[in-house]
Amino acid sequence: GIQLTTLACTLAIVSDVSGNATPIGSSASVVGVAIARKRGTQIHWKEYCKAAFPAMFLCIAVANAMLVAIYLL
């Protein structure tokens, strides 16, 4: 099977990146939404997720490619 190190790295990367997909999934997202609200811009949950999900999937794809290149090639 796959080594434990590879699985641990994959879990760490995916859990970190996927937190950015929602407004409450990471501290940076919470701060960004709070600053926008303070400046008069309301960001709704659906709007945020619509913009963040494609970026999250791209980051996960790049991270996956890097893990494959590092651990399997």
Question: pLDDT band at residue 26, thresholds of 50, 70 and 90?
Answer: confident
User: Which residues fall within 8 angstroms of residue 73, CB to CB, at 6 or more apart?
Assistant: none
Query: Does residue 2 register a pLDDT over 80?
Result: no
Nearest to 60 by CA among 4, 5, 6, 19: 19
Question: Between these two residues, 53 and 6, which has the higher pLDDT value?
Answer: 53
Question: pLDDT band at residue 73, thresholds of 50, 70 and 90?
Answer: confident
- Confidence (pLDDT) at 54: 92
- Confidence (pLDDT) at 43: 92
Tokens 């699985």 belong to which residue? Answer: 7
